[in-house]
Structure 1
Amino acid sequence: MPWATGERLDVVRLVRELTERSSRYADRAGAARGLHRSDLSALLALARAREQGRSPLSPGVLARELMLSPSATTTLLDRLERSGHVERSHDAGDRRRVSLEMTASAGETARSMFGPVAAAMTEAMQDFSDDEIDVVRRFLGAMVEAVDAQDPGVASS
């Protein structure tokens, strides 16, 4: 498949730039609050699971989602538990089974980190009509699907 050219290439570049700047912002905002990138990824995975009705997650499911080893996941969860962002609870019927939940503190931290960006983005959208926003929403959804459809382990020609 040919590469994008002209205005479509500009769009690809802008999407990449937005992704990179968002990533750098998350790194800086997390660092200012003593959170590593892996901490943010874990909290995002837990929040997404809650939104999708898959909560609580087990440490094993979280490890698979983050592509971490069991020991790295334990270290990550220990750090998040110490910082008050995650609670681990043991199943009453099977003490080996552990469930993970984000705390209210994690939600407050997320709002303090990303609330200003969300507000700025909302403000930036004010100059666009509902129809234009719908086109952008459909476009970004298609971009998410395009990325999800790729296998990074296989080179395409």
Structure 2
Amino acid sequence: MSTPRGPLDDARGEVVAEVVRLVRDLSERSSRYADRAGAARGLHRSDLSALLVLARAREEGRDPLSPGVLARELMLSPSATTTLVDRLERSGHVERTHDATDRRRVSLAMTASAGATARDMFGPVAAAMASAAAEFSDAEMDVVRRFLGAMVEAVDAQDPGAASS
């Protein structure tokens, strides 16, 4: 096992810079793909983001979500969230239910059609990525998993509102 080196080593710095560029390129291309695939199905970027939040909530056992939780996770105003949920409900991708005892309480959940749309949109990309990943050994995939996890943590740790020096 090699010892991690500091970012100041010139050769390593060049490699790290190239890897960071590739991660950025993957992120940018993934974002563009999502925009194109969503547009082809009449979905805005905010629609896709909302469906992703709802899908994660389902995976994590937090399903259904309230509109307030959705608004916080998407950093949207209540009125923007209402517009978004109305649009997703009209398109058949979100089901809005009212609590039986308190009609003011609303819950949101993805519909089966939203899952089908997501599989249609992202299934081919996931299959292509799985095919590309098959070229790597288990040991290499462990390193990739550890690396990508570290990159997610690095992004999450940043405060975009902090003053730059």
TM tier relative to shorter chain: over 0.9
Give secondary structure in 2 for the equivalent of 1:96: coil
Deviates more, 1:19-28 or 1:47-56: 47-56
Q: Deviations over 1:1-27 (max 9, x none)?
A: 978821000000000000000000000
Q: Deviation of residue 82 (structure 1)?
A: 0.4
Equivalent residue letter for 1:133: M
Aligned residue in 2 for 1:63: 71
CA offsets per residue over residues 43-76 of structure 1, 9 Å max, x none? 0000011111111100000001001011100000
Task: Tell me how large the CA RMSD over aligned residues is.
Answer: 1.5
1:132-147 correspondence to structure 2 within 5 Å: 132-147=140-155
Percent same amino acid at aligned positions? 82
Report whether the alignment pairs 1:26 with 2:73: no
Write the distance in 1 (CA, Å) between the matches of 2:130 and 2:137: 13
Q: Which residue of 1 aligns with 2:58?
A: 50
Structure 2 residues not aligned, in runs of 5+: 1-5
- Unaligned segments of structure 1, at least 5 residues: none
Distance 2:13 2:32 in 1: 27
Structure 2 counterpart of 1:94: 102
3-state secondary structure, aligned to 1:45: helix
With structure 1 as the length reference, what TM-score do the two structures score? Answer: 0.96
Match of 1:106 among 100, 107, 114: 114
How far apart, CA to CA, are the structure 1 residues paired with 2:141 and 2:7?
28
Give the alignment partner of residue 85 of structure 1, picking from 57, 82, 93: 93
Amino acid at match of 1:76: L
The residue number in structure 2 matching 1:118 is 126
Mapped partners of 1:142, 1:93: distance in 2: 45
Task: Select which of 124, 132, 136 maps to 1:128.
Answer: 136
How many residue pairs end up in the alignment?
157
Deviates more, 1:35-44 or 1:147-156: 147-156
Moved over 6 A (4+): 1-4
SS in 2 for 1:100: strand
Map Cα deviations across residues 61-111 of structure 1 (whole Å, 9 max, x no partner).
000100101110000000000000000000011110000000000000000
Cα distance in structure 1, aligned partners of 2:123 and 2:30: 13
Larger Rg: 2
Match of 2:18 in 1: 10
The answer for the alignment partner of 2:82 in structure 1 is 74
